[in-house]
Amino acid sequence: RRVELGPGAAILGGFACDQAEALLEQIAYLSSIAPFRHMQTPGGRRMSVAMLNAGPLGWVSDASGYRYTTTDPQTGRTWPTIPPIFMELASRAAQALGFGQFAPDACLINRYAPGTRLSLHQDRDEQDHQAPIVSVSLGLPATFLWGGLQRQNRTTRYRLAHGDVAVWGGPSRLMFHGISELKDGVHPLTGALRYNLTFRKVR
């Protein structure tokens, strides 16, 4: 099952299903080193999504803005290493869309509880806009909002379910997107949670 979203972008339905348990085990391990936290928006609001970083670079947001850092501002320590099974999955997914040699230097893990949402935004804090972004959904399903190159463009809704992997490259890389408020539910592997892993080449 493959849903084409545009040039260089597609949802690979169930691509990560076989590795879901192993991925969740690594998420649990990473969260024991660098806990999930709710960052502040530059405007001073608490994000409803909880976040965890792995890799040489981690995405942070606070009163001074959005940026990538090499150390965790809360502890001063470097971010945990991206687990090898994450790297291997990200590279296989990129390969499936024709992006060879994908070597991400940032893995952001978003955790959603019922009621959590991610408002429409662009991912433009990365220097490398040639490389795709790979995302992996685990646990409860979500409604993904897919817009255009301008915020006011109309959005299309897609379902992102457990095990779905999406690749966003080419012109799709700078499209507006978001996640609707997560609905209540129970997933056998995650309970009332959804996780999303995004892999990026920042520098």
Distance set, CA 96 to CA 12, 17, 161, 183, 198 (Å): 9, 16, 19, 31, 16
Which residue has the CB atom at the shortest distance from ligand MD3? Answer: 196
Which among Fe ion, ligand MD3, none contacts residue 173 (Cβ within 5 to 8 A by kind)? Answer: ligand MD3
Q: Which tokens is 135 given?
A: 């995302």
Under 8 Å between Cβ of 179 and 121: no
| Least separation in angstroms between CB 185 and ligand MD3 | 15
Tokens 């260089």 map to which residue? 8
User: What is the C-alpha separation between 40 and 30, in angstroms, rounded?
Assistant: 21
Instruction: Kindly tell me which of 174 and 186 has the beta carbon lying closer to Fe ion.
Output: 174
20, 90, 107, 118: residue in contact with ligand MD3 (rule CB under 6 A): 118
Is residue 135 involved in binding ligand MD3 (CB under 6 A)? yes
102: left (phi over 0), alpha (psi -120 to 50) or beta: beta
Instruction: Kindly tell me which of 81 and 143 has the beta carbon lying closer to ligand MD3.
Output: 143
72, 105, 123, 164: residue in contact with Fe ion (rule CB under 5 A): 123
How many other C-beta atoms can be found within 10 angstroms of the C-beta atom of residue 101?
9
Under 8 Å between Cβ of 54 and 81: yes
Contacts of 170 (CB under 8 A, 6+ apart): 6, 7, 8, 9, 132
What would the x/- binding string for ligand MD3 be over residues 162 to 201, using CB under 6 A? Answer: ----x-x---xx-x-x-x----------------x-x---
Instruction: Kindly tell me which of 19 and 196 has the beta carbon lying closer to ligand MD3.
Output: 196
Instruction: Kindly tell me which of 24 and 120 has the beta carbon lying closer to Fe ion.
Output: 120
Q: Which stretch of DSSP H or E encloses residue 29?
A: helix 20-33
Is residue 99 involved in binding ligand MD3 (CB under 6 A)? no
Which among ligand MD3, Fe ion, none contacts residue 19 (Cβ within 5 to 8 A by kind)? Answer: none
Is residue 72 involved in binding ligand MD3 (CB under 6 A)? no
Which of these ranges, 33-41, 61-69, 119-127, 161-169, lies near Fe ion under the rule CB under 5 A?
119-127
| Least separation in angstroms between CB 79 and ligand MD3 | 15
User: How buried is residue 151: exposed, middle or buried, by Cβ count under 10 Å (0-12/13-18/19+)?
Assistant: exposed
